[in-house]
Structure 1
Amino acid sequence: MPTMAGMTFAAAFRRARAVVAGLLLLTLAVLVAPAAQAHDMLIDSRPAAGEVLSEAPDAVVLTFNNPPLAVGSAITVVDASGATVAQGEGTVEGAEVLLPLSEPLPSGDLEVRWRVASSDGHPIEGTIAFTLDAPAAQPTASAAPTAEPAATPEPTTAEPAAAPTAEAEETGLAGLPTWLKVAVGVAALGAVAGLVVLVARRLREDRL
């Protein structure tokens, strides 16, 4: 039969072993905890998770508790069907990673899928769901109808003025035909001759 001293030693040994095991677990927890906490974590974002926006954002902004490495950053925005509507490599500015959005996002349920390299070099990733409830884009006003160009009047050809002819009508004797001028001249000479004869005859009668 085991002695009382043997039983006491065995119980003491078990208690000591339990204490050592507890100390080992505590030491391991202390050593592992800082390593687990070394990875960076997302502490803020724009858009925020679950946010409902009334207008499309001009950029996706992720804020971390420590500045991530400026390599390996990737941000993708997908719609409800999983189709990519925007993507690119994020730009690291301090503790923020930014992705400018050159095109407006479509309305509906959207999700930001991100991946960055934390300050200790380990990649971290996550998703941010949000909703865009923006009014539909108004159609651009159609250009005002252009006025019909005024009809160009057809050029009218003016009738050329009749060229003056040699027989154009003139005023006075100069406008008479040549034959009529001769006739008038002969008649005038005849009248003068007759007058001379008449005067001569009267003078002769007076002398008698």
Structure 2
Amino acid sequence: MKKIVVLTGAGVSAESGINTFRDADGLWEGHDVMEVATPQGFQRNPDLVLNFYNERRRQLFKVLPNLAHKALVHLEEHFNVSIITQNVDDLHERAGSSKVIHLHGELLKARCSHNPNKIIDWKTDIKIGDLSEDGKQLRPHIVWFGEEVPLLAKAANITQTAHILIVIGTSMQVYPAASLIHYVPRDTPIYFIDPKPNISKTDFSGLTIIQASAVNGVPQLVSDLIGRES
């Protein structure tokens, strides 16, 4: 069975009603990302940071997987599919995808602020005074700027096995996640789906650019790929 690796970014979740990570002005939901997405910001104002992610977590329960998420589940019925996402929501899992790696963490988990390996499921607000088993303050299980991306090596190993790579709703400008596209074997077919693609066919051999939103481009590509295998 052919191996398909799918890299997804904010453009997939945006069509379910989740705002993209950073607006053109550099703000995230009106906040300077350095205040809400860095260890230093958490040290300066933990209440602000916890409340920011509490709001994101509450929003997550109000949205649903969209047609792009569902199409990738359909793809899994015909191919060996692994999804590597920069998104911190659980929409891929809720849609039914079985192999999902979250490079930048997960909103529905919390972790010890002193030990990044102590991670627990968490679906409600995180408050000051919510402690890990070793008595340290809990924080969102989010990879902030300046922190290591612990699942990057695993993601790179998976990407190296791809027979087909699909990139959806990400500018591939945020490193180190953006480096993954360089791990696919030479001449691997790459499909890049984005309404405003910032990539050209001269950048990679075997590149097909699909200028479309995720909810329009993904179902069509999935249908085409399944049709070729039939």
Q: Could you say which TM-score interval applies, normalised by the shorter chain?
A: under 0.3
What TM-score does the superposition give when structure 1 sets the normalisation length? 0.23
Q: Which structure carries more relative contact order (alpha carbon 8 Å, separation 6+)?
A: 2
What TM-score does the superposition give when structure 2 sets the normalisation length? 0.21
User: Which protein has the bigger strand share?
Assistant: 1
